[in-house]
Structure 1
Amino acid sequence: MIKYDLHSHTTFSDGRLTVPQLLERATEKGVDVLAITDHDTTAAIQPAKAYIEQNNLALELIPGVEISTRWESFEIHIVGLAVDPQAEQLSELLASQQAKREARAKEIGVRLAKRGYEGVYEQAKELAGDAEITRAHFAAALVERGVAKNIQGVFKKFLARNKTGYVPSSWCDMATAINAIKAAGGISVVAHPARYQMSNKWLRKLLQEFAEIGGQGMEVAQPQQAPSERQFLGQLSREFGLLASQGSDFHYPMPWLELGKNLYLPKDCQGVWQFWEENEEC
């Protein structure tokens, strides 16, 4: 049986493993098909392809990206799978997203500085290195300063809505992301739909609109998940005619979350991989 993990991150965004480290770990954990889906960048894809080829890894790479979007009052993440990283429309969108991310990061730094936390932006940039800066880098910087015990604590105290360092996002809308992914030959997937803290009524509204504007899939299976949630999301994928995806959303090793761990789709769900399998046959 093929083991798919279609949502992972590297140090090119907010993951803690380099491309080689991620690929070696995926192989070690028995993953057969891995998608790298860094936030608003495809910079890891070419190095990953080269590393797999040079080291003859028994691992199929699915080029991907995770795009932040705005829908109603929610920030919704759209994963693009099997994309062409060089596609013009996608590249232009990601450049725009990266500029917005940088502007937001600078404003977060300004707001934290006003509360007495000077230089956090510069510290977060140093932690990010060549990666796209994210709120996780700010959280890591503040943990280093001892203002909270862990990243979750920083978000709760400083970076969540209505907190000191919260800056509203100005991401693109869902249709823009879906169109760019489609133009790049890929399939668009709603990431972790159960995490958006919305009612089932709103979740159905999201998925209905997503499908109506050309979205094709949704994540159904994740490692940390009650069986009832997985079954419910599988039901929604069938209800709205969306292909079902599975992914760990791996950022770094944790006791309760691992590459390829506890990933399977409920019965009667159509796997998102049939999208690129069918395209390969054409």
Structure 2
Amino acid sequence: MSSALHLLNADLHCHSSVSDGTLTPEAVADRACANGVQLWALTDHDEVGGQQFALEAAHARGMDYLTGTEISVTFAGKTVHIVGLGFDHTHPGMVDGLAFTRGGRERRARDMAADLARVGIPGAFEGALKYVGNPDLISRTHFARYLVEVGACGDTHEVFRRYLTEGKPGYVEHRWASLGDAIRWITQAGGLAVIAHPGRYDFTPTEEYALFTEFKAHGGLGVEVVTGSHTVAEYARYADMAVEFDLLASRGSDFHDPNESHTDLGTLPDLPGKVTPVWEALQARIHRA
């Protein structure tokens, strides 16, 4: 692999107001460009509605672009995210699959609001809607912003410590797509599937090994090694996992908002030298500026 490819400033995981980010796709593109991103992908949750806007914005700013999305799946009783890169965002199987995955979010959100009302936080559904660019994608992040607004917590990180996570008020489990479904939608649309931020799932070693094994068996080809929620030790750990499972390595900030996100677009360290960058396998799928 060439060092130029390996050291490319690629940010292949971030969100816009099409899902649970706060900036438009064009504003995210502005920020990525300002931070030196050369190859960009917008990966909104379970949605491809922002892809054409993002592609055009990337080219207008001189960046290469890969189509992207982040699909919610249920694995071992937990929600796991699978990033798709380099697919045809108009492919019917992908579009219909994501529409299926989005189904049930409103019902879940209303149950979350009812649970929050029981602990003295009324009106959370209507409050969360104020922060939603796409009502089909109402999520815990939108509730978190409302809880900060009404003073229930000081910031969104405190919200997730006290509410909206398993065992806390406002948490409602939702069954998403299966791992096999998500990978099939991505690959049939010509893309490549990547396990997003594996360090976040708090799996046992056995569960994590099962995730990687099943992911690979379904045709998944990549894993996020360097991402906003990983520690330096986790960069090394998941580089080793990428080598062990013969997976390509991805890099992405998981940026949502200038004030909420730990890591800004384009500011992550380079991938470890031992791994093969995912964009090396996607050269034919990159929309060149």
Do both proteins adopt the same fold according to a TM-score greater than 0.5, normalized to the shorter chain? yes
1:195-254: CA deviation from partner (whole Å, max 9, x where unpaired): 111233322221111101211110011245443321211111011111111111111225
The amino acid of 1:264's aligned partner reads D
Aligned residues: 278
**Matching residue of 1:262:** 268
- Match for 1:124 among 111, 114, 128? 128
Question: Which residue is 2:257 aligned to?
Answer: 252
What's 2:216 paired with? 211
Tell me the secondary structure at the aligned position of residue 172 of structure 1: coil
Residue 5 in 1 paired to residue 7 in 2? no
Aligned to 1:190: 195
Counterpart-to-counterpart distance in 2, 1:135 and 1:68: 13
**What displacement does 1:49 show?**
2.3
Inter-CA distance 271–52: structure 2 relative to 1 (3 Å threshold): closer
Separation (CA, whole Å) in 2 of partners of 1:165 and 1:141: 13
Matched residue, 2:28: 22
Amino acid at match of 2:124: V
**Residue 113 (structure 1) shift:** 2.5
For residue 172 of structure 1, the aligned residue among 169, 173, 177 is 177
> Match for 1:213: what amino acid?
H
The one-letter amino acid paired with 2:43 is: T
- 8 Å CA contact 1:39, 1:67 repeated in 2: yes
Unaligned runs of 5+ in 1: none
In the alignment, the residues of structure 1 paired with residue 65 and residue 285 of structure 2 have an alpha-carbon distance, to the nearest angstrom, of: 16
Matched, 1:83 2:81: no
- TM (norm. structure 2) is 0.91
- The code of the aligned residue for 2:84 comes to G
Q: Distance in 2 between matches of 1:52 and 1:220?
A: 24
RMSD: 1.7
Partner of 2:68: 64
Asked if the contact 2:200–2:229 (Cα under 8 Å) also holds between the matched residues in 1, the reply is no
Distance 1:5 1:104, change over 3 A: same
Mark the CA change 1:104 to 1:31 in structure 2 (over 3 Å): closer, same or farther: same
* C-alpha distance in structure 2 between counterparts of 1:14 and 1:130, whole Å: 9
In structure 2, how many angstroms separate the alpha carbons of the residues matched to 1:206 and 1:52? 33
Rounded to whole Å, the distance in 2 between the matches of 1:223 and 1:151 is 16
Q: Which moved more, 1:41-50 or 1:62-71?
A: 41-50
Residue identity opposite 2:49 in structure 1? A
Counterpart of 2:38 in structure 1 is: 32
| Secondary structure at 1:127 match in 2 | coil
Contact 1:14 1:137 in 2 (8 A): yes
Gaps of 5+ in 2: none
Q: Distance in 1 between matches of 2:104 and 2:125?
A: 15
Whole-Å Cα distance in 1 between the matches of residues 27 and 277 of structure 2?
27
The alpha-carbon deviation at position 64 of structure 1 amounts to 0.4
1:112-146 per-position Cα deviation (integer Å, ceiling 9, x unaligned): 23333222101111211335211010011111111
Distance 1:71 1:248, change over 3 A: same
Deviation digits for residues 85-135 of structure 1, max 9, x if unmatched? 111111111111111222211211222233332221011112113352110
CA contact (8 A) 2:72 2:79 kept: yes
Distance 1:20 1:278, change over 3 A: closer
**Partner Cα distance (1:228, 1:125) in 2:** 38
Q: Secondary structure at the match of 1:273?
A: helix
